[in-house]
Amino acid sequence: MTSQRYLCTAATVLAVSISLTACETAPVTGRNQLILLPEDQAVAMGADAFRQIRSKTPVSKDTRLNRMVERVGRRIVKVAQGPGYNWSFTVFQDESPNAFALPGGKVGVNTGMFKVAKTESQLAAVIAHEIAHAVARHSSERLSRQIALQGGLAVAGAASQTAAQYSQILAQAATLGVVLPFTRTQEAEADEIGVIYMARAGYDPRAAIKLWQNFARQGGDRPPEFLSTHPSPDNRIKRLQQIMPKALEIYRRNRR
């Protein structure tokens, strides 16, 4: 039994005891996911994280960049098989080339990202990748894994875990913050979902490869979201090339 299957089984025991669904399916890839965190809680945590970011980082007043991020973001969310998020797009005045999309639909792009994403299609690659993380509920999945490891496995042995104890586990997980580093599997998945979203929205998916080439040229200056658990740009580009024929076929139908 794979660890994911085992976690799903153990988590189902926990979930049944508190009436929650545990296993879901990621969009585009169809990967089996363990999601224990209730969606409304993830959305609340996303809103909280966004408030914290906004209190620390000034919003950019550059009209051209704001318009571009808004335009690209709207095109991507229109074709994403998203939860009914209330999407919003903010450009932050910050020279590190970073971007994020939080549970609930708050999307942020730093001004520094435009040093790497040099065209609108390359920006679409960034935003589509981040939106893919949000739509596939990768933050909730990471937290759920922790919840399962801390509580679910114990429950499998002692079926009398109460909802109160479960809430306690959730609260502990919440203190870790909603912006946990993603796993390599999740990164690969966000790349795959991202290029499919780009293609559906009428952006040339090959711009994703160009974006990673730009990052590779930048060397050590990769942003945190794109750094910690992320595969090297070379591996990433190889994988993107493998899924490119499928993405190009979709792009040719949706090209503007």
Nearer to Zn ion, 8 or 190 (CB): 190
CA distance 200 to 187: 20
**Structure-token pair, residue 66:** 């704001």
What are the structure tokens assigned to 43, written together?
């959305």
Give the active site residue among 130, 141, 189, 225.
130
| Contacting residues for 111 by C-beta, under 8 A, at least 6 apart | 60, 62, 65, 91, 92, 93, 94, 95
For residues 213 and 119, the answer to whether their CB atoms sit within 8 Å is no
CB of 253 to Zn ion, least distance (A): 27
Q: Which is nearer to Zn ion, 58 or 224 (CB)?
A: 224
Q: How far is the CB of 185 from Zn ion (least distance, A)?
A: 11
Look up residue 231 and give its DSSP letter. Answer: P
For residues 66 to 85, the per-residue mask of contacts with Zn ion, x marking binding by CB under 5 A and - elsewhere, is --------------------
Amino acid at 84: G
Q: How far is CA 96 from CA 3, 81, 86, 153, 246, in A?
A: 36, 30, 26, 40, 32
C-beta of 36 vs 190, nearer to Zn ion: 190
Minimum distance from CB of 179 to Zn ion (Å)?
11
Nearest to 145 by CA among 19, 20, 34: 34
Structure tokens at 116: 């790497």
CB nearer to Zn ion: pick between 187 and 204: 187
Mask of contacts with Zn ion, 175-204, x by CB under 5 A? Answer: ------------x--x--------------
Concerning whether 192 is annotated as a catalytic residue, the answer is no
Fill in the per-residue mask, 128 to 167: x = in contact with Zn ion (CB under 5 A), - = not in contact: ----------------------------------------
Q: What residues numbered 13-42 form the site for Zn ion, per CB under 5 A?
A: none
Number of residues that bind Zn ion (CB under 5 A): 2
Binding-site ranges for Zn ion (CB under 5 A) = 187, 190
Q: Which residues are catalytic?
A: 130
